[in-house]
Amino acid sequence: MPIMKRVLLAAFALMLGTAAFAQTDFGIKAGLNYTKTSQITLDGNSADFKPGFHAGVFADINLLVIGIRPEILYSQKGFEIDGEDGTLESTLNYVDVPVMVKLNPAPIISLYVGPQISFLLGEDWKEDLSETFDPESSSTEFAGVIGAGVRLGKLDLGARYNFGLSKVVEDERFDNFDKGRNQVIQLSVGIVL
């Protein structure tokens, strides 16, 4: 995937290249994902949130009261849905690359907003339906990210909402599958190295 390599290299270069011009902290993080795919219905029922996890690295590039927070994360997303004829469950594994603007309204508090690009690494579909399900998953996803964080010494705590801007999967035999977007609530704990 040439585009994935270019984006990951650019994010890594951004993390390292700005260290000379600002105070930069590097760290590792991990946490829980609660995900679903919006607007997808099966026999009139909406998708439910599904638990998953994320883990990866981050950089805090601090420029006075604002900064930049690029990250590279492995992130597990998906959904569960029940219908009259059975159930459908997806697990979608991504590399997420968010690059957020960070505002520091207080010394230990940060607010985040920015774009994210995600690359599909793999997928697992479990179904118990009367019809065969053969989805077409998108290999690249674009999303927006908003969130907040608290820094307590070396401990970095965060909560975020990722809202998908591009469709995730398509199977026209099921209601609205061509409109589905990932929605992700993330809770994380990080350590500044």
Query: Lowest mean pLDDT: which of 71-80, 118-127, 161-170, 172-181?
Result: 172-181
| CATH number (domain holding residue 122) | 2.40.160.20
Q: Which two tokens stand for residue 41?
A: 């219905």
Question: Which pair of structure tokens corresponds to residue 152?
Answer: 């307590």
Q: Is-contact 93 76, C-beta < 8 A?
A: yes
Query: For residue 23, what pLDDT is reported?
Result: 85
Q: What are phi and psi of 7, to 5 degrees?
A: -65, -45
Per DSSP, the chain holds a count of helices (H) and strands (E) of 1, 12
pLDDT one-digit tens code per residue, 125-161: 877 765 666 677 788 999 999 999 999 999 999 999 9
Q: Yes or no: say if 122 and 98 are a contact pair by the CB < 8 Å rule.
A: no
| SS3 of residue 137 by DSSP | strand
Full domain range(s) for residue 109? 2-192
Instruction: Give the C-alpha separation, 62 to 155, whole Å.
Output: 17
- Give the contacts of 25 (CB within 8 A, at least 6 positions apart): 59, 60, 62, 192, 193
Residue 163: pLDDT over 70: yes
Residues 28/57, Cβ–Cβ less than 8 Å: yes
Number of domains into which the chain is organized: 1
The SS3 of residue 15 is: helix
More confident residue, 21 or 33: 33
How many CA atoms are closer than 13 Å to the CA of 72, on its beta-carbon side? Answer: 13
